Amino acid sequence: MKNKLFLSCVCIIFAGSITKIKAHQMSKNIQTPVAKIIPKTLEKHNKKRLDNYFWLNDRENPEVIDYLNQENVYYEAMTADTNIFQKELYEEMKARIKEDDQSVPYLYNGYYYITRFETGKGYPIYSRKKGSLTATEEILFNCNELAEGHSYFQLGGLSVSADNKLVSFGLDTVGRRIYTIQIKNLETGELFADKIENASGSSVWADDNQTLFYTKQDEVTLRSDKVFKHKLDTNSNADVLVFHEKDDTFDVSVGKEKSRKYIVIGSGSTLTTEYRILNSDTPDGKFAIFQKRVRGLEYSISHFGDSFYILTNKDKATNFKLMKTPESATSKENWKEVIPHREDVLLEDIEIFSNYLVVEERSNGLNHIRIMPWSGEGEYYLPFGSETYSAGTTTNVDFDTDILRYSYQSLATPASVIDFNMKTREKEIKKEQQVLGEKFDKNNYVEERVWATATDGTKVPISMVYKKGMKKDGNNPLLLYAYGSYGVTMDPYFSSTRLSILDRGFVFAIAHIRGGEDLGRQWYEDGKLLKKKNTFTDYIDCSKFLIEQKYTSPKHLYAEGGSAGGLLMGAVINMAPELYNGVIAQVPFVDVMSTMLDDTIPLTTGEYDEWGNPNVKKYYDYMMSYSPYDNIKAQSYPNMYVSTGLHDSQVQYWEPAKWVAKLRTHKTSDTVLYLNTNMDAGHGGASGRFEALKELAKEFAFLLDLEGIKK
């Protein structure tokens, strides 16, 4: 519903490991990078902050690039003795992946669409078959060919015209999520000459097969703020501006309803949404506002028959409810209740079929799929037996079917795509993720869900998985992952790559802390704005619980988080560094104050409802009390591996760079501190399915090396 926008030997030698780290550095004559100090005083609300590394904000400054390269050289030199191990981990993880793999085909507008991979190739091939899976394959895009010559490549936003003759798509070859939209003629294979630059990548066709709607971004903030209309065979410079979102806390999107009757423009912020609709067969008409924005009113729409179904928090429905309105009268005074609000059940999404309404719910932190016949008789829930699973509907593009396609996985169970007959209640597993090699057997692993008690008495769930036979003696290495922001739910998920640490004795756990929506909307509300510190204390309390219950100990506990989860990492090591032996922080959002005070940085103003607006003193003061960069102090810090991308559009590279530079001057412990910058990538890391494994191998080697595990 929100506009949101996506891881012992030491017990014997631990006392000597710090000395070993220093000795290794000295023996190799490795120089620790030292960032130049250029003091800059920043003032707000009559309060002054000193930022010695503000100068790192300029990516065009050669000295900045030089410093990042120095950090990379330092990382490579300090970890040179793990290079062979990293390669072994990479090959091990790659060997579990079925390289010649493909998605489960789905039928849309007369064609079966398939995404597949070929052995040895890092990028997907998008194809389709007309009418039958035995028909001749038609290649839409071979991304392996398109990616040649690019250090980063991403294709997205595929949209096929109603007559099946054209496809629009977006390309990003930098990693800043700035796409160029192009159009391909599927009959001739030729590309239209015109290119639409600086786009978000997504687009949608009107029914005339001549008109394309797409979104563009603000050139400075990269916020999607405009919707344009493009006519085939015309210059994009002549494209018509259809909608401009001038409120810089909102982002826009454009898409088409499942019924294909309406083109929909969505405009949303953290707390508020608004939609505009236009009949797909009248592309030159005017979009009508579905329900004008009201601060705090969130809703999403699904068209079926002569009505719209609305998922909304209207009338203080914190966990959302389902309503219905005629397509001829869409404002909120016409909405009628279909499923009421419930205090203990979060209504997450719906799928509509001719004979069934399928509702995705969450209660007690777990997914539930509810099947509701329109007849009103015989509703039921799909049965799920585990407590560490995730399940949800997937690609369901047609109304007139009894088949629901959904996915299921758990921490120990590979992901499956399942076709479920809602009438006969029979299910067919269309595909289960293959884990290659002879070793894997899900019965060799134990899944658990336990509950830690937070400082204020709140019970916080933790999902975990480990190798059968694990002893709770405090000597197990444990990797505790969490995110805890934007209402993003971290459902338990299967990972074949994770087996590389599980099989070496690690416990993997997910802390479902406040700030996510794991236990309903209030769980999110209690971990944002002036309650944000609940996110950090929940994580710390989960860590203490795992130590108290002897799953692990501070000598063997490792913390991991990325992006806003990286903010979590920064906050907890300032607050309780003694609990962790090591920390992995991926693209961490750690310079909260400087970023949130700079409205030219992508995403900043849209974040005010999440973190608060620091231009207001009470929010400034609260954010200052936890901002990781601003709260670094002289104390012992854990071993740390920090990663970022030079072209990151969401968390700018300078945040982790400044954070590491400052940590180097303040930490009193002789622990390792690495900053590894991918000079060719953005927020999502390296492109290509195998390149990403190399980055993961670095993280795993970091953890295993600290545990004294060398193979």
What is the Cα–Cα distance from 553 to 561, expressed in whole angstroms? 19
Q: Is 368 a catalytic site residue? A: no
User: C-alpha angle with apex 164: 162 to 168, nearest 5 degrees?
Assistant: 85
The interaxial angle of helices 533-548 and 564-575, nearest 10 deg, is 60
> C-alpha 174: how far from its chain's center?
19
Q: Would you list the DSSP string of 443-511?
A: GGEEEEEEEEEPTTS-EEEEEEEEETT---SS---EEEE----TT--------STTHHHHTTT-EEEEE
From 410, 647, 683, 687, active-site residue: 683
Edge-first strand order for the sheet with 273-279 is 251-256, 262-268, 273-279, 288-291
Residue 393 and residue 490 in contact, taking contact as beta carbons nearer than 8 Å: no
Q: Is 683 a catalytic site residue? A: yes
From 17, 127, 202, 563, active-site residue: 563
CB atoms within 10 A of CB 13: 12
Q: Looking up tokens 């595929």, which residue turns up?
A: 158
The interaxial angle of helices 691-706 and 83-95, nearest 10 deg, is 120
* Per-residue tokens: 102: 């493909």
Residue 640 and residue 671 in contact, taking contact as beta carbons nearer than 8 Å: yes
User: For residue 662, what are the CA distances in angstroms to 38, 63, 495, 560?
Assistant: 12, 17, 34, 20
Task: Supply the DSSP symbol for 123.
Answer: S
Secondary element (H or E) of residue 689: none
* Per-residue tokens: 574: 């300032």
507-511 and 478-481 strand pairing? parallel
Backbone angles phi and psi of 699, in degrees to 5:
-65, -45
Q: Looking up tokens 């005070």, which residue turns up?
A: 597
Three-state DSSP string of 227-259: EEEEECCCCHHHCEEEEECCCCCCEEEEEECCC
Task: Supply the DSSP symbol for 526.
Answer: T
Q: Would you list the DSSP string of 58-89?
A: -TT-HHHHHHHHHHHHHHHHHTGGGHHHHHHH
From 543, 648, 649, 687, active-site residue: 648
User: For residue 676, what are the CA distances in angstroms to 453, 584, 590, 664, 700?
Assistant: 35, 11, 16, 15, 14
User: C-alpha angle with apex 708: 703 to 711, nearest 5 degrees?
Assistant: 85
Q: Would you list the DSSP string of 640-680?
A: EEEEEETT-SSS-THHHHHHHHHHHHHB-S---EEEEEETT
Q: Is 553 a catalytic site residue? A: no
Q: Which residues are catalytic?
A: 563, 648, 683
